[in-house]
Amino acid sequence: MLRNAKKEALIALVLVAPFAAIYGLAFIYPTIQMFLLSFTDAPLIGQGDYVGVENYARLPGDRRFQTALWNTGYFVVLSVIPGTFVALAIALAVDRLKGRFQSLVLALFFLPYILPVSVVYLIWDWTLNFQFGIAMHLFDLLGIQRVPIFKSTAWFMPAVALVTVWWTCGFSILLFLAGLRAIPAEIYEAAALDNAGRWTTFRRVTWPLIWPVTALVLTIQLILQLKIFDQVYLFSTGGRPNDNLVLVYYIFQRAFQSDQGGRAAAIAVVLFVMVVIVSVFNFQLVRMSRGRAQ
């Protein structure tokens, strides 16, 4: 077949142009600017002087940066691992159900994921309200002293992690369900013929086959939770933001509250590099799990 290479390239150029313009403007340019900015003492808007690596050199001794890094790590541990396994358990339970009944139960588990973070915040702020929250009846029932959860530093991160697991679980459940449905029925039939019990079937059949998806969900969640800001910001209003700092929150604080664009950019670069490293790992896992599925 004859192909007019020049004409084809021209058409391609026209088709790619809108995307390229958007990407250049809203993605590549800001990314380059972020790196450049991190070597200056510029305010949020406006020019600054080149200060070398000073902004980076300050970070290890910066108390707030330490808090932010620690809290981000703590939050990741509290949300990623429990979230993944709760999702796997729910997916296994939902996968057993059939037809419309299954989609109804799935919808109940999935619904929180579709809601905006501010709605999730208002729902839980109400549910866990110190005076009138319905969850406080549970506290009374268990004989735990009622606490203003989001004003207490000890309770803050675990509570936000719980809300986050509730909110984002639906996403992981879907991935697990897709993974479970990809397991051929014949394997289960073979296991049934061998009189394998529920637990043996899970351990010998389901788990090894679902493991690549589990690894994928873990890394996706890890990437997602490293970037946490919204919930932490919302739940700390009226509380103690400085104790609850996470990395994105600290970027926001430096840039938008202290007007130190340069210093904020250095923190952004650190987070950027962290997320890219985890993402490269995640990308490998996606390729691996595709290889398995085919």
Partner 1 sequence: MTALPAQGIAPLQRIQRLNVAGAILSILTVVAAVIWAFPIYWAVVTSLKPENETVRAAVELWPETLTFEHYRFALFETQIGNWYLNSLGTAFGTMILTVSSSLLCGYAISQLRFPLRQPLWWLILASFMVPTQTLIINHFELVANLGLLNTWAGIILPQLIHPVVIIVYKQFFDGVPKEFREAAVMDNASEWRILTRVYIPMNWGVTTALCIVTFIWSWNAFLWPFLAVTRTEEMTITVGITQVNDAFGVYYARQLSAAVLAGLPVALAYLIFQRRVTQAITLSAGIKG
- Footprint on residues 182-241 left by partner 1 (CB under 8 A): 198, 213, 216, 220, 223, 226-227, 229-230, 234, 237
Residues numbered 48-87 forming contacts with partner 1, rule: CB under 8 A: none
| Chosen residue from 76, 157, 210, 264 binding partner 1 by CB under 8 A | 264
Q: Pick from 67, 129, 201, 242: which binds partner 1 (CB under 8 A)?
A: 129
Of 44 and 147, nearer to partner 1 (C-beta) is 44
Distance of alpha carbon 6 from the chain centroid: 44
Q: Which long-range contacts (CB under 8 A, 24 or more apart) does 274-281 make?
A: 274/226, 275/223, 275/226, 275/227, 278/219, 278/222, 278/223, 278/226, 279/223, 281/219
Q: Which range in 56-64, 72-80, 109-117, 201-209 contacts partner 1 by CB under 8 A? A: 109-117
Query: Closest distance between partner 1 and the C-beta of residue 75, in Å?
Result: 14
Q: Contact between 145 and partner 1 (CB under 8 A)?
A: no
Q: Measured in whole angstroms, how far is the alpha carbon of residue 135 from the centre of its chain?
A: 25
Q: Which of 134, 144, 190, 288 binds partner 1 (CB under 8 A)?
A: 134
For residue 242, state whether it binds partner 1 (rule: CB under 8 A). no
Residues in contact with 270: Cβ distance below 8 Å, sequence separation at least 6, in sequence order: 56, 59, 247
**Structure letter (DSSP) for residue 44:** S
103 touches partner 1 (CB under 8 A): yes
Least separation in angstroms between CB 152 and partner 1 = 20
Q: Which of the stretches 52-60, 66-74, 104-112, 150-158 binds partner 1 when contact is defined by CB under 8 A? A: 104-112
Is residue 25 within the footprint of partner 1 (CB under 8 A)? yes
- Which runs of consecutive H residues, i.e. helices, occur in 97-246? 99-114, 117-127, 135-142, 153-181, 185-193, 198-201, 207-226, 230-236
Stretch that binds partner 1, among 48-56, 63-71, 89-97, 142-150 (CB under 8 A): 89-97
Calpha distance 22→142 (Å, rounded): 55
Supply the DSSP symbol for 115.
S
Extract the tokens encoding 119: 């709605």
